[in-house]
Amino acid sequence: MKRGGLIRMLVTFNSFFKENLFTNAFSKSRNQINVYIDFIPASKMNFRIMERDLQSPRSASNARARNRRKSTEAFPDVMKVNGSDLLVNDQNKYRSMWIRTYSSVWMLVGFILVVYLGHLYLWGMIVVIQILMASELFNLLRRAHEDRRLPGFRLLNWHFFFTAMLFVYGRILSQQIMHAVTPEKFFYKLATSFMKYQMVICYFLYITGFMWFILTLKAKMYKYQFSQYAWTHMILIVVFTQSSFTAANIFEGIFWFLLPASLIAINDVAAYFFGFFFGKTPLIKLSPKKTWEGFLGASVTTVISAFVLANVLGRFQWFTCPRRDLSTSWLQCDPGPIFTPEIFELPSGLPWKEISVLPVQWHALCLGLFASVIAPFGGFFASGFKRAFNIKDFGGSIPGHGGFTDRMDCQMVMAVFAYIYHQSFVIPQYYPVEILLEQILGSLNFEEQVLLLTKLKEIIDARQIQN
């Protein structure tokens, strides 16, 4: 052998180790790695792995395919099929469960406090959550180096957001705003003028933002700017508008906000624990951690909870009475027939002779069925969206849960259904005097109300003379 020549040695290594390194240093390997070690005695010893096999066309194409698969896998851990393995057997999941439980307890305590404070504070909580959700979603597609070249572009997103907020809440809370001001005062005239011209005001605010966007367009930035413009409008339509129905439910009575929101939380918790202890069969590819066992167990739990919880909440006027102003005072009202208990006699042989049921409990069954079967698809939609952008969570503000958007995906779907269901099947189709008076007070100024009263008095006097 010549001095300075290369001596190639083929060495086969086992590639996997046992967990206990002290008992078994090496285990049988599934793959064997052929490593070529070159000894160069003329200079110094050099160890290197020959890349001869990787440079072949077939191996190169396989490497590119592996890279493509890797780039599309947003969650490598959760892409494993559950198969026959229970999630409870995964010891690493216990830590996640305790973190999630700890955060849930704190959120529950804060939520109960806000519910106790009343309608106005609940609405304020919804507005804060909407702002935080918008912030998470605005940041999702932003590029720092692009935004630095577009000064004031982020402010444009918030301009559209608060314009939408002014329009939506101006329509939803028009009656409450009119009742919050005193007649014959400056603020009453200001409020009536705003209600009358609200649509025009919001339209020109939007047009201002539209012109602002056009004037900020820059060469080589068009695609990024238009994508941000479209993304902002999608947030306003899909996220903000849906969640705004929650405010409408609150002022119709805390019951119509608290029950649907609680059912979503119950369904989420039940699905997590049923899946944790019994989950084996994957439910949907978008969320591999979701199992049929968790879905079915949560559905039964949610429907039963809806029937029971409606009976409890429906007996408190603080929950059932609608709020027609923006005050925080105590409420007293006629609960109406749906919150009036009905007595049903039970068959003989049971420990109870009769049972008291509120008619609203039958409505609650419909809400519970929707919360357990249809509302989870809001979460599946969010899961698919996150996979499309290769992210795990929308944010990290809530330990164990992700961001606020991760917690509100199903709530938004449920809020819209609860509002539509309440307006279609719960509110009577005729218009009682109270509602007509509220519409008159909200639509007419003080002089017009006096004129209407005079006209009504003349009509009533004329009918009395005829009779």
Per-residue pLDDT of the chain (467 residues; tens, 9 = 90+): 444 443 343 333 334 333 443 344 334 343 433 333 343 444 444 434 334 443 444 444 444 444 434 433 444 444 444 444 555 555 566 777 788 888 889 999 999 999 999 999 999 999 999 999 999 999 887 765 576 778 788 899 999 999 999 999 998 888 788 777 766 677 777 887 888 899 999 999 999 999 999 999 998 889 989 999 999 999 998 888 888 899 999 999 999 999 999 999 999 999 989 998 898 899 988 888 889 999 999 999 999 999 999 999 999 999 999 998 888 888 888 888 999 999 988 888 888 888 999 999 999 999 999 999 999 999 999 989 888 888 888 888 888 778 899 989 899 999 999 999 999 999 876 666 777 777 777 677 788 888 999 999 989 988 888 87
Same domain (yes/no): 163, 231: yes
Range of the domain at 49: 7-72
Contact of 369 with 101, CB cutoff 8 Å: no
Same domain (yes/no): 362, 269: yes
Q: Please enumerate in sequence order all residues whose Cβ is within 8 A of that of 430, keeping only pairs 6 or more positions apart, or say none.
A: none
Same domain (yes/no): 205, 336: yes
In a domain, 324, yes or no: yes
**H-type alpha helices, 389-445:** 404-421, 433-443
Same domain (yes/no): 370, 273: yes
How many structural domains comprise the chain?
Answer: 2
In a domain, 454, yes or no: no
SS3 content of the chain, % helix, strand, coil (to 5): 65, 5, 30
* Terminal-to-terminal C-alpha distance of the chain: 133
Residue 337's nearest CA partner among 355, 354, 314, 353 is 314
Q: Of how many residues is the chain composed? A: 467
Same domain (yes/no): 315, 219: yes
In a domain, 212, yes or no: yes
The residue behind tokens 């039958």 is 362
Q: Please enumerate in sequence order all residues whose Cβ is within 8 A of that of 29, keeping only pairs 6 or more positions apart, or say none.
A: 13, 14, 15, 16
In a domain, 81, yes or no: no
d(CA 291, CA 268): 12
d(CA 247, CA 35): 66
d(CA 330, CA 303): 31
In a domain, 449, yes or no: no
Strands (E), 245-338: 282-284, 287-291
Beta bridge partner(s), residue 12: 34
Give the helix/strand (H/E) hosting 425.
Answer: none
